Amino acid sequence: GDQKRVATPASAIRDGADHIVVGRPVWKAPDPRAAARAITDELRDL
**Dihedral pair phi/psi, residue 38, rounded to 5°:** -65, -40
Higher pLDDT, 2 or 37: 37
Residue 1 has pLDDT above 70, yes or no: no
pLDDT at 17: 93
Higher pLDDT, 27 or 45: 27
Domain ranges of the chain: 9-44
pLDDT at 5: 73
Query: How far is residue 3's CA from residue 40's CA, in Å, rounded to a whole number?
Result: 21
Mean of pLDDT over the chain:
91
- pTM score of the predicted model: 0.75
Higher pLDDT, 2 or 41: 41
- 44 burial type by CB count under 10 A (0-12 exposed, 13-18 middle, 19+ buried): exposed
